[in-house]
Every structure is written in structure tokens, then in C-alpha cells.
């Protein structure tokens, strides 16, 4: 039995908070984000799989939206927003390292995520991914990201 359906359910529950509750507290969003990170970190202790990598990317896309929601009170939740995004990116990067994802495939994955996210994706290839992408991967990312953005 795979572990990702319960993870996806947890992520979907977190993502639904702003849309499904007439009145919600931003604290609920931050708490749900931390719960997702805790689950990701536990799952990342298992042998790596592409299925788990896909689930982490699913979580990153949903977190991007929730990070934007937390910006409603950036003075209070800016730290939580970046910490949660960084933790998701750390799990993702660790899985990519362990799976030895091809740099061009990784560039495609990161470009797709960066293009669909409204705010800066927590998986945008900053220094965290440079060693995995190398020069060819970074160039492939830039090309694909610009293509997906219509530039």
C-alpha cells in the first residue's frame, strides 16, 4: 500500500481551509502546513520513489497558494510561510539527490512548478538545486520556464 494517498488527503485538507470555511484563522493554515511538512519528513525516511517525489511536488503547488493566503498577515506569518516552504523544498531536494534525477528531467519538473505557482515557488532552483542541475540543467530550466510563461 502506498503512503501518498494519505499525504495527498492531508495536503488537500490544508489547501481547502481558506475555501471551505466561512471564517478561518490563519493560524489554522500555518498549523496545517506544519502537519504536511511533518508527514513529508517522515515519508522521506523511507526508500525514495518517484511517486513520493510527485507527492512532494503536489504539496509544493498547494503550499504556494497557502503561502499567499498567509501573506494576508505577513508581519505575523512571514517566518512560518518561508520555513514551511523551505522544509518542503529540503525534502524535495533530498529525494532528487537520492533518486539521482536526471538534470534535464529535474529542470522540467522545477520549471513546471515555478510556472504554475502564483508566488515564487519554494522549489525555484536557487542554490539548493544548483549542484543537481549543473550548467545544462540550469539552462534547460531557464528555457523551459520562459516557454511555459510565454516569454
pLDDT of 21 reads 63
Grid cell at residue 17: 481551509
The crossing angle, in degrees rounded to 10, of helices 26-43 and 74-99 is 20
pLDDT of 1 reads 39
pLDDT of 105 reads 95
DSSP 97: H
pLDDT of 126 reads 63
pLDDT of 6 reads 87
pLDDT of 74 reads 78
Cα 64 from Cα 48, distance rounded (Å) = 23
Of 25, 29, 41, give the one whose Cα is nearest residue 86.
41
Cα 148 from Cα 97, distance rounded (Å) = 25
User: What are the angstrom distances between the C-alpha of 76 and each of 47, 86, 89, 139?
Assistant: 36, 17, 22, 37
pLDDT of 3 reads 59
Tell me the pLDDT of the chain (151 aa) as tens digits.
355 788 889 999 998 888 876 777 889 999 999 999 999 999 999 999 999 999 999 999 999 888 888 888 878 888 888 899 889 989 999 999 999 999 999 999 999 988 887 665 666 666 788 999 999 999 999 999 899 888 8
Residue 57 near residue 92, CB atoms below 8 Å: yes
pLDDT of 120 reads 58
Per DSSP, the three-state class of 151 is: coil
Helix (H) / strand (E) containing 26: helix 26-43
Amino acid at each position: 500500500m502506498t503512503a501518498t494517498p494519505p499525504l495527498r488527503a492531508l495536503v488537500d485538507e490544508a489547501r481547502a481551509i481558506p475555501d471551505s470555511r466561512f471564517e478561518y484563522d490563519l493560524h489554522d493554515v500555518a498549523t496545517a502546513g506544519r502537519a504536511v511538512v511533518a508527514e513529508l519528513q517522515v515519508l522521506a525516511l523511507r526508500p525514495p520513489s518517484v511517486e513520493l517525489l510527485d507527492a512532494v511536488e503536489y504539496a509544493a503547488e498547494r503550499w504556494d497558494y497557502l503561502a499567499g493566503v498567509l501573506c494576508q498577515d505577513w508581519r505575523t506569518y512571514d517566518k512560518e510561510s518561508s520555513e514551511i516552504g523551505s522544509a518542503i523544498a529540503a525534502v524535495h531536494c533530498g529525494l532528487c539527490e537520492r533518486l539521482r534525477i536526471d538534470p534535464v528531467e529535474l529542470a522540467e519538473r522545477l520549471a513546471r512548478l515555478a510556472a504554475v505557482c502564483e508566488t515564487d515557488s519554494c522549489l525555484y532552483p536557487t542554490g539548493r538545486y544548483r549542484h543537481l542541475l549543473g550548467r545544462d540543467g540550469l539552462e534547460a530550466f531557464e528555457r523551459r520556464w520562459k516557454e511555459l510563461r510565454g516569454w
